[in-house]
Amino acid sequence: MRAQVGQFTDAAYTPGWFAARRGAFRRRRRAGVAALALAGSVMLIGCRGHDMPAPLPDDFATQLARATFPLSSVRPCNRDDDLEPIVSAMRTRRVIAMGEATHGTREFFDMKQRVFRALVERGVVTVLALETWPELAARAAAYVDGRDRGTARDAVRAFGLWPFETPEMVEILEWTRAYNQSAHDRPRVRLVGIDARHPERDRRMAANVVRVAEQAGSGAVFVWAHNGHVRTEPGAMGSYLRTALGRGYYCVGFESLGGTFVSNSMWGLLAGRLTVYEFHEESGDYYATYLAESPHPNFFIDFETADRFPAIHAFLRRRLRSHDFDELYWLKRLRLSSRSIDEPWSGLYDAVVFIRDTTAATIVF
């Protein structure tokens, strides 16, 4: 399935363009112009408006830099010293869930793959659980276990779902198979699908994860799913996992200031193609706008660590918006409440990975 550029995408909007404009966006945020404009537009389309956010402390950026852990790379690489704070936060958990704000962002997939590798190599994780149905994951499971003689591309194609038909998923299957082949006396890694066709989908997904965790013994389960499933708001898979596992469940959301992502469109569904969409937030009621104040473009923020800093403790409890793009973005994008959530992060996640500028994933089939 090939991606086409959507009619709302400006080809001049590149990561370099975002960098050049960032100073202007910050000044406008400080002035509150964007927040007022957004509030007016929200009222026009029938969504709940926000009051203009209260000013942040003058040392917010300084506290943010101290409370977060910069990432030297998003792509998997030979050095992973910068991942030690992440591994430390996850080491004793039974289920580690990493989300994604879209199903079509390359950097989200890269970063999840990087963390997954680090956890496997350190003996923390022994199961990769994907947001797909068990029967669709069967070929990939056989491939990583060495029972399937085909290629990783064959296994990816068998998913039949475009969010998995990416070079990053091909890489993670190839890496996991190679790891298993050289594991010897180390635990091998299994791959499973944990999605469910059920009226109470998230509850059933959580039950599937708990069952897999019980089978995994001392190894942890790494869940690969959308932010909307991993977070702990009522009704989400993460809420049931929190109830069942307590601190044994650790969920990480993903957020970005802007960039591009790939998803469905009405005409694309008819033509068998995906569409590349562009987004960028400059308004003062998005978490991403404030996180972009950091001197680090990409970082990890563990909330338990961040709570030691008063300004960040208060910030994580603000009612601000987060991007929430799913495969029905093309249908929902006219309503702000359908493409973002406005809940305090402290009640949704244990941590967040922030990647300032993102790009659309490449679909290989």
Please report which confidence band the pLDDT of residue 330 belongs to, taking 50, 70 and 90 as the band edges. low
Average pLDDT over residues 171-185: 95
What pLDDT, in 10s, does the model give residues 246-258?
A: 999 999 999 999 9
Within-domain flag for 34: yes
Of 21-35, 51-65, 334-348, give the lowest mean pLDDT range.
21-35
Please report which confidence band the pLDDT of residue 92 belongs to, taking 50, 70 and 90 as the band edges. very high
Flag whether pLDDT at 53 surpasses 60: yes
Count Cβ neighbours within 10 Å for each residue of 140-178 and write b for 16 or more, e otherwise: bbbbbbeebeeebbebbbbbebbbbbbbbbbbbbbbbbe
How many separate domains does the chain show? 1
Flag whether pLDDT at 43 surpasses 70: no
Coil, strand, or helix at residue 54?
coil
Q: Cα dihedral sign for 42, 253, 353, 67? A: positive
pLDDT at 213: 98
Flag whether pLDDT at 15 surpasses 90: no
Looking at per-residue pLDDT, the higher value among 47 and 153 belongs to 153
Flag whether pLDDT at 5 surpasses 70: no
Of 45-54, 103-112, 330-339, 344-353, give the lowest mean pLDDT range.
45-54
Within-domain flag for 301: yes
Q: For helices 152-159 and 134-144, give the axis angle rounded to 10 degrees.
A: 170
Give the DSSP letter of residue 149.
-
pLDDT at 175: 98
Average pLDDT over residues 145-174: 96
- 245: which 2 tokens? 């596992």
Distance between CA atoms of 178 and 175, rounded to whole angstroms? 5
Within-domain flag for 365: no
Flag whether pLDDT at 1 surpasses 60: no
Question: What is the extent of the structural domain holding 275?
Answer: 2-358
Flag whether pLDDT at 85 surpasses 50: yes
Of 280, 288, 287, nearest in space to 344 by CA? 287
Flag whether pLDDT at 13 surpasses 90: no
Within-domain flag for 363: no
Of 87-96, 227-236, 273-282, give the lowest mean pLDDT range.
273-282
Flag whether pLDDT at 88 surpasses 70: yes
Within-domain flag for 354: yes
Average pLDDT over residues 29-48: 37
Please report which confidence band the pLDDT of residue 267 belongs to, taking 50, 70 and 90 as the band edges. confident
Cα dihedral 81, 83, 88, 92, rounded to 10, equals -130
Please report which confidence band the pLDDT of residue 37 belongs to, taking 50, 70 and 90 as the band edges. very low
Mean pLDDT, the chain, whole residue set: 86
Flag whether pLDDT at 48 surpasses 90: no
Average pLDDT over residues 147-168: 96
Within-domain flag for 48: yes
Is the model's pTM score more than 0.75?
A: yes
What pLDDT, in 10s, does the model give residues 278-324?
A: 998 777 899 999 999 999 999 999 999 999 999 999 999 999 999 99
Flag whether pLDDT at 192 surpasses 60: yes
Give 221-285 as a DSSP string.
EEEE--HHHHS-STTSHHHHHHHHHGGGEEEEEEEEEEEEEEE--HHHHHHTEEEEEEEE--STT
Q: CA distances (Å), 196 to each of 132, 166, 232, in order?
A: 8, 22, 18
Flag whether pLDDT at 344 surpasses 90: yes
Q: Distance from CA of residue 365 to its chain's centroid?
A: 22
Within-domain flag for 364: no
Flag whether pLDDT at 106 surpasses 50: yes
Of 27-41, 58-72, 132-146, 264-278, give the lowest mean pLDDT range.
27-41
Whether 111 contacts 83, CB under 8 Å: no
Within-domain flag for 40: yes
Specify the CATH number for the domain of residue 27: 3.40.1660.10
